[in-house]
Amino acid sequence: MNSNYFNSNLNRAETAKLVVSAIQRVIGDLPAGLHEPRFAGNEWHYVKECLDTTFVSSVGKFVDRFESEVAAYTGARHVVAVVNGTAALHIALRLAGVQPGDEVLTPALSFVATANAVSYCGATPHFVDCDESNLGMCPVAVRDHLRSIGELRQGVCFNRITGRRISAMVPMHTFGHPADMNGLLSVAHDFSLQLIEDAAESLGSKYHGCHTGTFGVMGTLSFNGNKTITTGGGGAILTNDEELARRAKHITTTAKLPHRWAYEHDEIGYNYRMPNINAALGCAQLEQIQVFLQAKRSLFSSYAEAFSNIPCMSLLNEPDGCSSNFWLQTLRLEEADASLRETILMTANDAGYSARPVWSLMHNLKHFEDCPRSPLPLAESLECRLINIPSSVTLAARCGIDHNHLDLG
């Protein structure tokens, strides 16, 4: 079967129906969102404790507890909980030394928050290409690009074309699949770039045994409602550097100096702390993460089996040496068959199964169209070929395959 096959609308429609049938076989007839949270642990218990003690806001024990539990889970030495993943990225970039006028390498294929956070620092995102297998920033492409446009002057990387300093790179672990961290750390080292990991989507994902977000100088997480665990809205900064952690806590809590009553602030700070009631939700959610991850892995297996006989597409698997959280299950169409995408999106959504394409590439957004970029052949190809399908933890319970041991009741 090749691309000519899909020059017929009829054949496109038939393949889309096969996709919907496969989804239906795995998760049943009921409509399904892309990713919905599940609250079956201590959520109500902890949230009620916040209300009963009146500690819902900036004071209360759950923020500290959530931070130390996320640290224990990820292996990061320090964790600072904040209001969302975008705020985490903003502060991580700032503390990594990104200055107004700098450029920061970010994936063309990412959620808009990665590039927006660079803009908040007064810096310019510089878009680079991604890898076919893990969808993350491609170290080979980035190295080639930096050899072409970058130069080191006294240990500082500059873009020879724009004259601006390139101060950092922000790989993102797309849909929970770890990017090639060894390759990217090597590029960051060779070109003197700070490496900050956008691990918004990859809580629970490991690269060669270590949790994503712990490789760079800082990493960031998101606990938005559509993530593997949620705090309503929330995020976190991970770091192994004690001084960066202290600075992150300080700057995200209005940079107030500790004093029994006086209000002194020693720098421009942000009101980015996570409220206690949201952290309470997070503590309860984190207690269940192993069950969630097991469910998502089982869902992947069920989908993989169901899609195995459908031509022209494959279900994205975890990269070699990695353990993915399978945050969003992803169909990748063959390059010749990208024309299927819209038909599948329409058919699946019409059938009540949420399906969505990957984000529009960043350099095509109006406000980033003048930003520098490398050649982006893979991002441009993948943009037309990726489809996320329903991925909630609760869907594993609907699978035909026996997941009773998951206790998803």
Residues that bind a copy of itself (CB under 8 A): 36-39, 43-44, 47-48, 50-52, 54-59, 83-87, 111-113, 116, 119, 122, 224-226, 230, 232-233, 254-256, 260-271, 273-278, 281, 345, 349, 354-360, 365-367
What distance in Å separates the CA atoms of residue 167 and residue 105, rounded to the nearest whole number? 8
Which is nearer to a copy of itself, 10 or 262 (by Cβ)? 262
Q: Provide the sign of the torsion angle of the four alpha carbons 212, 187, 195, 136, taken in this order.
A: negative
Name, in order, each residue with C-beta under 8 angstroms of 368's C-beta and a sequence gap of 6 or more. Answer: 115, 125, 127, 362
* Cβ-based nearer residue to a copy of itself, 222 or 374: 222
* Beta carbons of 145 and 159 less than 8 angstroms apart: no
Give the residue with the Cβ less far from a copy of itself, 10 or 268: 268
Query: Least distance to a copy of itself from the beta carbon of 69, Å?
Result: 19
Which of residues 82 and 187 has its CB atom nearest to a copy of itself in the complex? Answer: 82
Which is it for strands 166-169 and 103-107: parallel, antiparallel or unpaired?
parallel
Which helix H or strand E contains 105, and what residues bound it? strand 103-107
Within 10 Å of residue 133's Cβ, how many Cβ atoms? 14
Q: Say which residues have a Cβ less than 8 Å from residue 329's Cβ, sequence separation at least 6.
A: 299, 300, 303, 315, 316, 388, 389, 390, 391
Nearer to a copy of itself, 48 or 77 (CB): 48
- Shortest spacing between CB 218 and a copy of itself, in angstroms: 18
Shortest CB 269 distance to a copy of itself, Å: 7
Q: Shortest distance, CB of residue 44 to a copy of itself, whole angstroms?
A: 6
CA-to-CA distance for 396 and 407, rounded, in angstroms?
A: 10
Closest approach of Cβ 327 to a copy of itself, in Å?
A: 15
Task: Choose between 323 and 354: whose C-beta lies nearer to a copy of itself.
Answer: 354
Coil, helix or strand for 400? Answer: coil
Least distance (Å) from a copy of itself to the CB of residue 387? 9
